């Protein structure tokens, strides 16, 4: 299962050239380690494997891609790994369970961009590895069984957003999804489409085009570039993907707004958090939350929903195309937005749900 020279290769000197397809797997659970290795090999990786970061003698791990198991769901388990990572490493964390606050804690380091929770292990590790190894990061199809029909709509304004959401919900109902699931799908579609239409667009200087436009007035404006939504139903899930043509969403922006909402007392008001509340709502409603970004070209957000009882978030990923990636190191946060606060009255209620309550827990079972 594991290459016999795994330990030797894992302790290679920092300057040694490794194949771009060589991936390091780390887990103290031998059975889980074998499972991760087998999944990575199925994705096309050449895998080295160790039981712990301490087993690696080198000061710096030479591998660019690392799949690390936090076997007990302990965020602190990363403490021994992070100092050994190379500057441009990409780490995926595999964990048996995680609260939403744990997920954001895992992702704070620039090099840790993926978390796979609970029973999502096989599929989550496979898709994540395949996207990293090939560089082909966009597309809802990667999260669907082969041959699943994908439906598509394009829009540029508020009216088109309404038609698109209704079309998706009609399809979800025809696909026999329960009302609760359809409600979650509708909320997420609304948030993602509004963000893509009115929060993503920037001018030639990178300044938000609609920042000073009253939310009511936005209903009469068109996005300068089209927005698309793709959606599909499978035997077990429903999937949507919304794509804008600006590519400006940064990981620190997502984390900052989610963490701000997590730590807010009791009720979260949209007038206070604006579009940031939508990022939190999506994380609270979906089973998978994956963001694909090519700076200046496109941002695509892929979400999945289980047909059965509501599942906590169990797959999180942030994939950034290397071209222009440095421009996405730091995006806007609640603090920077506060410095540009404007009086917008009570018009923020154009999106569903003016206030929501933080969940007690979100994660996956072992």
DSSP 31-88: HHHHHHHHHHHHTT-EEEEES-GGG--SSS---SEEEEE-TT--GGGGGGTGGG--TT
Mean per-residue pLDDT of the chain = 84
Q: State the Cα–Cα distance between residues 115 and 128, nearest whole angstrom.
A: 10
Q: State the Cα–Cα distance between residues 170 and 190, nearest whole angstrom.
A: 15
Report domain extents, the chain. Answer: 20-134, 140-356
The CATH code of the domain at 140-356 is 3.30.565.10
pLDDT tens digits, residue range 85-110? Answer: 999 999 999 999 998 999 999 999 99
User: What pLDDT, on the 0 to 100 scale, is given for residue 93?
Assistant: 96
User: What pLDDT, on the 0 to 100 scale, is given for residue 221?
Assistant: 87
Burial of 181 (0-12, 13-18, 19+ CB in 10 A): buried
pLDDT tens digits, residue range 42-94? Answer: 999 999 999 999 999 899 999 999 999 998 778 888 999 999 999 999 999 99
Give 19's contacts (C-beta < 8 A, 6+ positions apart).
46
Instruction: Please choose, from the candidates 60, 130, 62, 56, the residue with its C-alpha nearest in 3D space to the C-alpha of residue 92.
Output: 130
CB atoms near residue 263 (< 10 Å): 9
20-134: which CATH architecture? 3-Layer(aba) Sandwich (3.40)
Q: Quick one: DSSP state of residue 202?
A: B
pLDDT band at 17 (very low <50, low <70, confident <90, very high): low
**Per-residue tokens: 296:** 């200046």
User: What pLDDT, on the 0 to 100 scale, is given for residue 294?
Assistant: 96
Give 58's contacts (C-beta < 8 A, 6+ positions apart).
10, 11, 12, 13, 14, 84
Q: Whole-model pTM?
A: 0.86
pLDDT band at 365 (very low <50, low <70, confident <90, very high): very low
Q: State the Cα–Cα distance between residues 97 and 276, nearest whole angstrom.
A: 25
pLDDT tens digits, residue range 269-300? Answer: 555 445 567 888 899 899 999 999 999 999 99
């Amino acid at each position: 299962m594991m290459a016999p020279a795994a330990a030797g290769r894992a302790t290679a000197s920092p300057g040694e050239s490794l194949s771009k397809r060589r991936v390091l797997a780390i887990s103290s659970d031998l059975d889980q380690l074998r499972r991760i290795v087998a999944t990575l090999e199925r994705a096309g990786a050449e895998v080295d494997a160790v039981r712990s970061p301490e087993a690696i003698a080198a000061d710096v791990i030479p591998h660019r891609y690392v799949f690390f198991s936090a076997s007990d769901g302990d965020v602190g388990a990363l403490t021994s790994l992070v100092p050994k990572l190379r500057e441009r490493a990409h780490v995926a964390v595999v964990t048996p369970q995680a609260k939403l606050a744990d997920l954001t804690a895992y992702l704070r380091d620039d090099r840790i961009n993926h978390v796979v929770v609970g029973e999502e292990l096989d599929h989550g590790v496979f898709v994540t590895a395949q996207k990293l190894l090939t560089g082909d990061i966009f597309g809802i199809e990667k999260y669907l069984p082969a041959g699943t029909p994908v439906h598509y709509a394009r829009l540029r304004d508020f009216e088109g957003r309404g038609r698109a959401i209704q079309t998706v919900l009609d399809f979800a109902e025809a696909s026999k999804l329960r009302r609760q699931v359809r409600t979650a799908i509708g909320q997420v579609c609304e948030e993602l489409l509004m963000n893509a239409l009115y929060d993503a667009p920037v001018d030639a200087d990178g300044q938000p085009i609609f920042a000073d436009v009253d939310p009511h007035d936005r209903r009469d404006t068109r996005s300068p570039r089209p927005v698309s939504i793709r959606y599909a139903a499978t035997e077990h899930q429903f999937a949507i993907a919304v794509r804008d043509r600006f590519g400006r969403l940064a990981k620190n922006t997502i984390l900052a707004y989610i963490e701000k909402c997590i730590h807010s007392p009791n009720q979260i008001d949209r007038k206070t958090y604006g579009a940031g509340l939508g990022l939190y709502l999506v994380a609270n409603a979906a089973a998978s939350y994956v963001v694909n970004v090519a700076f200046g070209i496109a941002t695509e957000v892929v979400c999945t929903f289980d047909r059965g009882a509501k599942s906590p978030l169990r797959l999180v990923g942030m994939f950034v195309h290397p071209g222009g990636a440095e421009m996405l190191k730091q995006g806007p946060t609640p603090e920077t937005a506060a410095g540009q606060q404007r009086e917008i009255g009570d018009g923020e209620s154009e999106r569903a749900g003016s206030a929501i309550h933080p969940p007690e827990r979100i994660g996956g079972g072992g």
